[in-house]
Structures are given as C-alpha cells and as structure tokens.
Amino acid sequence: MSKFNRRDFIRWSAGITLAGGSLGIPGLLLAATRKVVVVGGGVGGCTVAKYLRKLDPNVEVTLIETKKAYTSCFMSNEVLSGDRTLASLTFDYEGLKRHGVNIVIDRVTAIDPAKKSVATEGGQTFAYDACVVSPGVDFKWDAIEGYNAEVAETIPHAWFAGPQTQTLRNQIESMPDGGKVIIVAPPNPYKCPPGPYERAAQIAMYCKHHKPKAKILILDPKDRFSKQGLFRQGWSKLYGFGTDNSMIEWVGAAGGGTVEAIDPSTRTLQAEIEEFQADVINIIPPQKAGKVAFASDLAEGDWCPVDKLTFESTRHPDVYVLGDASSAAKMPKSAYAANSQAKVAAAAIVARFNGQSPGEPTYVNTCYSILGEAHGISVAAVYNLDRGSNTILPIKGAGGLSPMDASEEQRRREVSFAHSWFKNVIDDMMG
Amino acid sequence: MRYKNNIAILALLMILPAFSQAESPSGQALAFTCAGCHGTDGSSVGPSSPSIAGMDPDVFIDVMKGYREDKRNSTIMNRIAKAYTDEQLKGMAWFFAKQELQVSPQKHDPQLAVVGEKLHQKYCEKCHEDGGAPGDSGTLAGQWMPYLKYSMADYIDGLRPYPRKMKRKVDAVIEAEGADAVPALIHFYGSQQ
C-alpha cells in the first residue's frame, strides 16, 4: 500500500481545486462525502449498510425502513413448534447506528433515478450517489380466488414473521387433537424454498407431543421441492411419512395439489381435482419483488434484473437491487444469499466511489432446515460469476446437500450449527 | 505474410489471458462470505460454530485441506471447502490471521474449569501454549464449547486424524482422570473470556 491514501488524495485534489477556483466549495464537499441510501432493513439492506461503513467510513449511509425493529423470517417456523418466541427473532437497529448508519423509520414511495433521490410517505427526500434497494418479496394476491390481505388476518400466510406467525401458532394450539392443518405451498420462485416443508415438520414436532392424532397436509403446485429426499427421509423417521398413519402428507401438482380458490367461511380449499377442508389453513401465496421495486421501475416481469458483478440494476444506473427482489439466478432467495450479495454490492460501490473497477465477486449460500429437536439438514453452495451469461454459477464438485446416510449425531449437530448460523448471520447484518 | 501472422498471434496471445483466466476474488471477499456462520471477521457469537479470527494461517490451510479432502469429519465444511483453490485458501487464511479474536462469554462450570486448567497444564500446554490461545496448534481458549466437544468426540471416535503426539496425551489424560477429563478441559477453555 502506498502511504499516499485516498484521504490524502482528496486533500490534495481539494487544494488543486481551491487553487484553481473552478469548482469551489460544493465540488469539494461532493468529493469528500458520498451518500448511499438503503431502502429496506432486512438482511440485504442491513448487511450492505454495515459493510459499506466497514469498507469505507467516509461513505454516509442512510437506511430507510418502515418498522422500528426487524423480525427475522428465518427460524420463525420454530415459533410454530413452540421452540421459540417471536421476541427471540426481533432485533432493533441500534447496532447499525453504532456503525454510523443513519436509521430513518418511514416508507419509501419511489426512487427517482433521474434526480438521484428517494422520496418517502412522510414527505422526506434523500439525495444519493448510490441507492441500494432490498425490499424483499410481495404477494400476488390475485392467484388464489377468495384469498386477499384481509382474509390473511384469519387464514394467515405467516410468510413475513410477525403477528401472523403468532396467529398461526395460536390456531394450531387451539385446534382439537385429530385436527387437520393444510399448508398451501407456493410455485417457484419464492423466498425460502425449503420453508413450507420445514414448517410442516415444525408443526408436526409440536403435534407429536400435544396432538398426536393431528394431520398436516401440504398442497403443492410443484412436483418437486428443495431438499426433497432429505425431507421425505426425515418426515419418515420422525412423523411416519409414507405409512398409513403418517402425520404429514404431501400432494404435488400431478396429484392435484394446485389450489385455485378458498372459501374462508368454511375453510374449504378448491384444488385442481378435489376439495379440502381443514381446521387450520396456511396459504403461502405466489410471490414477486416488493412494491417499491415496481414503483421505481426496477422490475422486469416479477423480479429485478441486475448486473451480477455489482448488483446494479440493468434498468437504472446507480441503483442496486439485492436479496429476494433481485433476479440472481442461480442463487436461491435466502437470507444467506442476500447477506452474501450485499457484500459484493458494498465492495463494488466503494470501489466505484474510489475510481476503481469492481473486484471479482464470490458468493455463498447456506440453508438449514430443522425437522425435529435433533434432526437438522442443510444445503450449501459456493458460486462464481460467469460474466458472459451474467449468471451466478455454483462451483462444480463443491456444495450440495447433507448426505442421505448421515448418522444421528451428524443430524443433531446440524441443529446446533443451524442455531449458530442464525445468531451469526443476525450479528453479521446488524450487530 | 508470415510476419503479419506472427503479429496477429502475438496480439491474440496478449488478449487471451484476459478472457481465459478469470481473476480470483480477493482474500477479503472470500473471507466475507464465511461470516454468516463464523461471525463478522471470524469471531463467532456461537453457540457452536467455531471462531476463526486470529487463527494461525498454516493451521487454517491445513484444516481447510482436511475438509476438502474428506479427511476430517464435518457436517457442512467439507462441502464448502471443495470450492476453493490452494491460492484462495491462502488468501482467506491471511485475512483471518490478521483479525483480532473477539471472545463471547459462555456458560461453564467454574469448578470443572479449575480441574481442567490443571489437566491442561499437565497434558496440553506444551503444544497448546498460553492456555490454548490462538497459535500454531489452533485456538482453544475462548473457543465455543459445543465445537470443542464435537472435535474431541471425532478424535476419540477416529473420525478426525490426531496430530502428532496428541493421541498419546488424550489417552493418558482419560486413563489418569477418567470420563470427566475431556469435559473438564472443555470447561477450562470455555471459561477463558
């Protein structure tokens, strides 16, 4: 490293500017402080804010989020088994403030890429040199007839951790033994691909002890799902899957698992072939990028295309889209993916501010599912960028699923590593 | 004509590397991806994935190669380690070597830790110097206790190869002190904050 660093350069160039008198004070200020506005305080938004400050303390970072505290979706299935409270998933933004991030609680209405500014419902505007958008997903409410945001208050999606997670937990607790729970899984792509199947296991984990005659049925518009072999194996071992007395049942597309309509008053689902009635219904609707992505012209189809070298939008320069809302094939829509993408984007933005080209990116995804008290499984991948096709490709010969023949001890350890992952990823994004 | 061809080939050769050799991500960029499980800059907040901040770079490389070649039992690291070249492991190793280990307090039995300290001095200190502080025999002091427990179980069950001399010492401490020897050592390491 040269002893002549960036700060020296700024001082030096400021001296030249002052001597020349051509740019004057505003030009000087612009050179000294670069502003990044982050929209959304989830995994992508928090991680990019923290790492921008870590990589370059001269960057001024403002994060705008609607809620005062963050509640993680990952691990929220454990609320359904009773293993965890919602409070244990809720974290404030004080950690990010300690990193020098300005936290603004407000709702962003739109980003104006021409003026390079962000407007909020509260009437504030924020100018930016770079804007990072990480709004997560929104639902396609028109996909299942009779299901909408209002109905979801009583027939919850529970796909954003919060009050609906508690509603679903309460409904499962108060249903009779011998009661029936239906989970309606969404079509691809959606956030947390193994989530619906882990959810079935977590509900079964509770029922096994408290309502042993209960049944959990998954209606699925797909014929295959994430970690399928491992889920079937775990469900068999723990909940009798595949036997006449199985607690969990799964109906895929070929078996008529696609749900077309719901009658909320009778809790009846109209699927492709037959009707299903249940004591508790959990509908996870089809998904698309969060609202602000559409309001800001960042989406093409359902998701936001990006240059995967930097996560800069291919539609508007200086706007970056991270996490679930981005079209980041072949990474899944997961917390680890958003965390990993945020670091690529933070490094690229800091490089840009310093007049450098972005470094070669590297990405990781790790995703755990907990099927029972001592039964965890995982999938992992390390990715490279294929610049030619702008595709994030998993490195061949690496990554993959937990082995099918793992010992009980290994499955037990994966539960404790899942909990370690949870604590560390939360700390890495906002601690 | 021949001259022109040579020029063309030379020009092609100069351009080719830019296309064929993908540049590797920096050690820092690679190391940043570990944080989701091992904590920011390698200081894990627990409860079981180990801290890797301040780790001796040669130990880091050995450990990763052990995972990469399936010589060391793991749940997930063997799958991840296979993605990296020797050069990349070196880059990550040096990144973590330069980080200061931030130790989080963990629940331990203080009485058992006192027993463990004595055992450590007698059987382990020669290689794991300064109470097992980060060094060329890895990091034990302040390391996450479930991780130490898994590691010791794997050594004893033959799922992880012992380093030179370690088997003799582990056998000796168990023979002399019984089943509580290993837990006592783990509580001693966990007690260091």
Instruction: Say whether B45 and A431 touch across the interface (CB within 8 A).
Output: yes
Provide the pLDDT confidence category of residue A29 given band limits of 50, 70 and 90.
very low
Instruction: Say whether A419 and B47 touch across the interface (CB within 8 A).
Output: yes
Residue at A56: amino acid letter: D
The pLDDT score that the predictor gives to residue A1 is 37
**HSE of A112, CA atoms in CB hemisphere, 13 A:** 10
Residue B5 lies in a domain: no
Assess whether A135 and A200 both reside in one domain.
no
- Taking one residue from A and the other from B, the number of pairs with CB-CB distance under 8 angstroms is 115
Distance from CA of B122 to the nearest CA of A (A): 30
Put simply, whether B19 touches A (Cβ < 8 Å) is no
Assess whether B117 and B184 both reside in one domain.
yes
- Picking from B26, B51, B73, B79 by the largest number of A CB atoms within 10 A of its own CB, the best residue to mutate is B79
Is residue B19 scored above 70 in pLDDT? no
Name the closest residue on chain A to residue B149, using Cα atoms. Answer: A413
Is residue A20 scored above 80 in pLDDT? no
The pLDDT score that the predictor gives to residue A32 is 62
Residue B183 lies in a domain: yes
- Picking from A417, A419, A430 by the largest number of B CB atoms within 10 A of its own CB, the best residue to mutate is A417
Assess whether A50 and A10 both reside in one domain.
yes
Residue A206 lies in a domain: yes
Single out the residue in A305, A339, A358 at which a domain terminates.
Answer: A358
Residues in chain B within 8 Å Cβ distance of A410: 75
Assess whether B71 and B29 both reside in one domain.
yes
Single out the residue in B73, B97, B121 at which a domain terminates.
Answer: B97
- Burial of A174 by CB count in 10 Å (0-12 exposed, 13-18 middle, 19+ buried)? exposed
Report the pLDDT averaged over residues A218-234: 98
Contacts of A27 (CB under 8 A, 6+ apart): A17
Assess whether A183 and A272 both reside in one domain.
yes
Sheet of A117-120: strands edge to edge?
A: A108-112, A117-120, A125-127
Single out the residue in A264, A286, A308 at which a domain terminates.
Answer: A286
C-alpha span between A235 and A194 (Å, rounded)? 13
Is residue A295 scored above 70 in pLDDT? yes
Assess whether B187 and B114 both reside in one domain.
yes
C-alpha span between B190 and B146 (Å, rounded)? 10
Assess whether A152 and A194 both reside in one domain.
yes
Assess whether A106 and A149 both reside in one domain.
no
Report CA-CA distances (Å) from A412 to A202, B75, B148. Answer: 15, 10, 15
C-alpha span between A86 and A92 (Å, rounded)? 13
Provide the pLDDT confidence category of residue A312 given band limits of 50, 70 and 90.
very high
- Picking from B76, B145, B148 by the largest number of A CB atoms within 10 A of its own CB, the best residue to mutate is B76
Single out the residue in A358, A377, A401 at which a domain terminates.
Answer: A358
Of the listed ranges A54-58, A105-109, B10-14, the one predicted with least confidence: B10-14
Single out the residue in B64, B97, B130 at which a domain terminates.
Answer: B97
Q: Residue B92 CB: number of other CB atoms within 10 A?
A: 27
The three-state secondary structure class of A431 is coil
Of the candidates A135, A133, A111, the one whose C-alpha atom is nearest the C-alpha of residue A296 is A111
Contact A185, A222 (CB under 8 A): yes
The pLDDT score that the predictor gives to residue B23 is 85
Is residue A27 scored above 70 in pLDDT? no
Instruction: Say whether B75 and A410 touch across the interface (CB within 8 A).
Output: yes
Interface list for B 85-114 with A (CB within 8 A): none
Residue A409 lies in a domain: no
C-alpha span between B48 and B30 (Å, rounded)? 22
Assess whether B127 and B181 both reside in one domain.
yes
Single out the residue in B67, B97, B127 at which a domain terminates.
Answer: B97
Instruction: Say whether B48 and A344 touch across the interface (CB within 8 A).
Output: no
**HSE of B9, CA atoms in CB hemisphere, 13 A:** 6
Residue B31 lies in a domain: yes
C-alpha span between A272 and A255 (Å, rounded)? 9
The pLDDT score that the predictor gives to residue B60 is 98
Assess whether A14 and A126 both reside in one domain.
yes
Of the listed ranges A25-29, A236-240, A389-393, B111-115, the one predicted with least confidence: A25-29
Interface list for A 271-310 with B (CB within 8 A): none
The pLDDT score that the predictor gives to residue B22 is 63
Place of tokens 């004080």: A94
Residue B137 lies in a domain: yes
Contacts of A206 (CB under 8 A, 6+ apart): A80, A81, A82, A172, A173
CATH number at residue A63: 3.50.50.60
Assess whether B39 and B93 both reside in one domain.
yes
C-alpha span between A373 and A408 (Å, rounded)? 12
Residue B33 lies in a domain: yes
Distance from CA of B74 to the nearest CA of A (A): 8
Residue A366 lies in a domain: no
Residues in chain A within 8 Å Cβ distance of B153: 409
Contact A325, A135 (CB under 8 A): yes
CATH number at residue B154: 1.10.760.10
Residue A171 lies in a domain: yes
Put simply, whether B183 touches A (Cβ < 8 Å) is no
Assess whether A200 and A155 both reside in one domain.
yes
Instruction: Say whether A395 and B38 touch across the interface (CB within 8 A).
Output: no
Report the pLDDT averaged over residues B54-66: 97
Max mean pLDDT among A3-7, A118-122, B9-13 falls in: A118-122
Assess whether A326 and A342 both reside in one domain.
yes
Element (H, E) at A18: helix A6-20
Structural domain span for residue B75? 25-97
The pLDDT score that the predictor gives to residue A129 is 98
- Picking from A401, A405, A413, A425 by the largest number of B CB atoms within 10 A of its own CB, the best residue to mutate is A413
Structural domain span for residue A99? 6-139+288-358
The more confidently predicted of residues B134 and A6 is B134
Counted domains in chain B: 2
Counted domains in chain A: 2
Radius of gyration of chain B (CA): 22
Residues in chain B within 8 Å Cβ distance of A361: 25, 29
Assess whether B41 and B76 both reside in one domain.
yes
Residue at A127: amino acid letter: A
Residue A426 lies in a domain: no
- pTM equals 0.91
Assess whether A227 and A309 both reside in one domain.
no
Residues in chain A within 8 Å Cβ distance of B34: 364
Count of H helices and E strands in chain A? 11, 26
Report the pLDDT averaged over residues B27-36: 98
Assess whether A153 and A264 both reside in one domain.
yes
- Per the prediction, chain A carries an average pLDDT of 94
Name the closest residue on chain B to residue A393, using Cα atoms. Answer: B83
Residue B7 lies in a domain: no
Put simply, whether B6 touches A (Cβ < 8 Å) is no
Residue B18 lies in a domain: no
Residue A377 lies in a domain: no
Assess whether A107 and A162 both reside in one domain.
no
Provide the pLDDT confidence category of residue A31 given band limits of 50, 70 and 90.
low
The length of chain A is 431
Instruction: Say whether A431 and B47 touch across the interface (CB within 8 A).
Output: no
Name the closest residue on chain B to residue A397, using Cα atoms. Answer: B82
In tens, the pLDDT along A85-108 reads 999 999 999 999 999 999 999 999
The pLDDT score that the predictor gives to residue B164 is 84
Provide the pLDDT confidence category of residue B5 given band limits of 50, 70 and 90.
low
Is residue B13 scored above 50 in pLDDT? no
Is residue B20 scored above 60 in pLDDT? no
Of the listed ranges A16-20, A273-277, B187-191, the one predicted with least confidence: A16-20
Distance from CA of B155 to the nearest CA of A (A): 14
What share of chain A has pLDDT > 90, as a percent? 93
Distance from CA of B180 to the nearest CA of A (A): 21
Report CA-CA distances (Å) from B120 to A368, A390, B110, B166, B186. Answer: 35, 53, 15, 12, 10
Instruction: Say whether B36 and A339 touch across the interface (CB within 8 A).
Output: yes
What share of chain B has pLDDT > 70, as a percent? 89
Residue A416 lies in a domain: no
Q: Residue B58 CB: number of other CB atoms within 10 A?
A: 12
- Picking from B19, B30, B37, B73 by the largest number of A CB atoms within 10 A of its own CB, the best residue to mutate is B37
Contacts of A350 (CB under 8 A, 6+ apart): A52, A55, A56, A59
The pLDDT score that the predictor gives to residue B8 is 52
Residues in chain B within 8 Å Cβ distance of A417: 37, 48-49, 75-76
Assess whether A75 and A119 both reside in one domain.
yes
Contact A219, A251 (CB under 8 A): yes
Angle separating helix axes B166-177 and B145-156, nearest 10 degrees: 100
The three-state secondary structure class of A384 is strand
Report the pLDDT averaged over residues A27-53: 87
Interface list for B 133-172 with A (CB within 8 A): 144, 146, 150, 153
Nearest to A416 among B35, B48, B84 (CB): B48
Instruction: Say whether A420 and B47 touch across the interface (CB within 8 A).
Output: yes
Contacts of A12 (CB under 8 A, 6+ apart): none
Residue B10 lies in a domain: no
Is residue A372 scored above 50 in pLDDT? yes
Residue A410 lies in a domain: no
